[in-house]
Chain A
Amino acid sequence: MGKYDDGMAVTAPKSLDVQRIRADFPYLEELQNGKQVAFLDSAASAQKPRAVLDAMTRFYETSYANVHRGVYRLAERATEALEGAREKVRALLNAAEAREVIFVRNATEGINLVAYSWGLNELKPGDVVIVTELEHHSNFVPWQYVARRTGASFRMLPLDEHGELRLDLLDEVAGDDDVRVVAAGLTSNSLGTNNPVERLAAWAHERGAILVGDGAQAAPHRRLDVQALGCDFLAVSGHKMCGPSGAGALWGRAELLERMEPFLLGGHMIRSVGDEETTWGSLPHKFEAGTAPMAEAVGLGAAIDYLEGVGLEAIEQHEHQLAAYALEALAELPWVTTYGPPADRRAGIVSFNVDGVHPHDVAQILDMDAVAIRAGHHCCQPLMRKLNVVATNRASFYLYTTTEEIDRLVVGLHRARAVFA
């Protein structure tokens, strides 16, 4: 077989064998009232395949020591494992260099790093920070806060009636002012809208601004390429992509990261510490003070291997089919209102309300049938105000979700409706 013979397989996405995937996830072995949990809350946090749990246990058992400073072999192995995980994140995001990848707890911490280290130092009165009306609080509140601290103007890019960004209003929102930051999520955690971040980034760069992308809801579900996206920073959460809680990553363009002040100070992030002054270490260490979440990073690396093994293209396609299936099923219920764009422009997230039934009651009734959905404002209070609701129900899907689980959701909604009718 020639070297390039299997190249054809790359162009056609592998299809996804959901039953085989479900066998990899221990949570499905735990029954609730005799039933497998229909876990429709992966947008909040994803379940973990055994491969991730095993990789972390193995790391603790065979390679555990504090990284970087140790000269003994165990410390070397730990360092290799951590740096190996960094390389996996780099490859996943197609970053140019591994030193552009900084381990953080989650996307929120990554965005805070940018807001504090870049924003507090770079922004000045009169500068403009633009966020979107769709934003999760994680890419909204830090910018609102930093704008207030620096005297910058904080503005919101509105949505249209489908929950999609009004890019046509960008120039109007900006006016003639000095736009410095555009902060936008790649995928809305609440409506599932896939935002045209490439176009936002191009617009931001034309205005001399940076684009800070929140990739928490996108990285688990489709292939991202930070170089093609054209953003300047991108934050992801490992726990949403089958990795453990406590490990996320911030990618930033090296020339920006190099010019920035550190965020957290202490051990490991220094070059030399004098009595009066300290100089900072090189990237990525400058931004990784203290002992890293080593086992968590190893778990994230294993999660990336797992997702790549299944195929991100196949995962995206699977979730797309599920979103279309769910939207179609919910459209048949005249007492259900769904929010957000049509299936072809959204991720596997469906937000909805049941007439006359508060989302918390819906979620509670569904829980009795072991169907787990989220109910609330989804950390998107500005969006909830725009939709004129206090809360919504949200079902979100991942590689292990089946259409049967969506059927169970629909049955539960009928039940909730019947109780409150």
Chain B
Amino acid sequence: MTEFDQLYREVILDHYKNPRSHGLLDAPDAQAEGQNPLCGDEVTVSVSFDGDTISGVGFEGRGCAISQAATSMLTELVVGRSAEDVAGMPKEELLEEIGIPLSPIRLKCAILGLGVLKVALHKAKGTPLPDEWAQGDDLTIT
């Protein structure tokens, strides 16, 4: 496989061009947004619960293919799981799903949506904030 095929493998392009769970929920239980100032990626994630279980998730954003495709893939990984479980989800689980080698700069793009989702979970359920954001990294959240 060439370097090119690896980075922009079909599944990434598919999620980028046809993002899953695209659009914010009408009546979310919590919502958060974040930016990656390095490249101007923006992601907003809304989430709803059935008890402590994530019942729905929707996102909007603009940015590079990696950031948007990764957030789309993330939405497929989290519905039906508990807030606590997802709050503790290691970034490696998402990165495995993305399945491509990422440089440190692009890694930030890839985990933007995960961090934003964890902030939304924190707002709704008081779960811990993600390590990578608690360390005051190059990500801003509101």
Contacts and interface: CB of A to CB of B under 8 A. Distances in A.
B7 A390 contact: no
Nearest to A375: B39
Interface string B1-14: 00110011000010
B100 to A, nearest CB: 11
Contact of B3 (A368, A375, A377): A368
A12 interface: no
Contact of A364 (B38, B41, B63, B106): B106
A420 interface: yes
- Residue of B17, B65, B66, B109 most packed against chain A (CB within 10 A): B65
Interface in A374-421: 375-377, 384, 390-391, 419-420
Interface residues of A, number: 16
A323 B114 CA distance: 41
Main secondary structure of the interface of A (DSSP, over half): helix
B65 A358 contact: yes
B62 interface: yes
Contact of B7 (A358, A364, A377, A420): A364
A368 B40 contact: no
A365 B8 contact: yes
A154 B16 CA distance: 41
Contacts of A365: 4, 8
Nearest to A362: B64
A384 B37 CA distance: 12
A360 B64 contact: yes
A390 B106 CA distance: 17
B33 interface: no
A361 interface: yes
Contact of B64 (A33, A361, A377): A361
Interface in B94-142: 106, 109
A376 B39 contact: yes
Given A358-B62, A376-B39, A390-B40, 6 more contacts: A360-B63, A360-B106, A364-B106, A384-B40, A390-B63, A419-B8
A-B CB proximity, top 3 nearest:
A390-B40, A360-B64, A358-B64
Interface of B: 3-4, 7-8, 13, 16-17, 37-42, 62-66, 106, 109
22 contacts: A358-B39, A358-B62, A360-B64, A360-B106, A361-B64, A361-B65, A361-B66, A364-B106, A368-B3, A368-B4, A368-B7, A375-B39, A376-B38, A376-B40, A377-B40, A384-B40, A390-B42, A390-B63, A419-B8, A420-B13, A420-B16, A420-B17
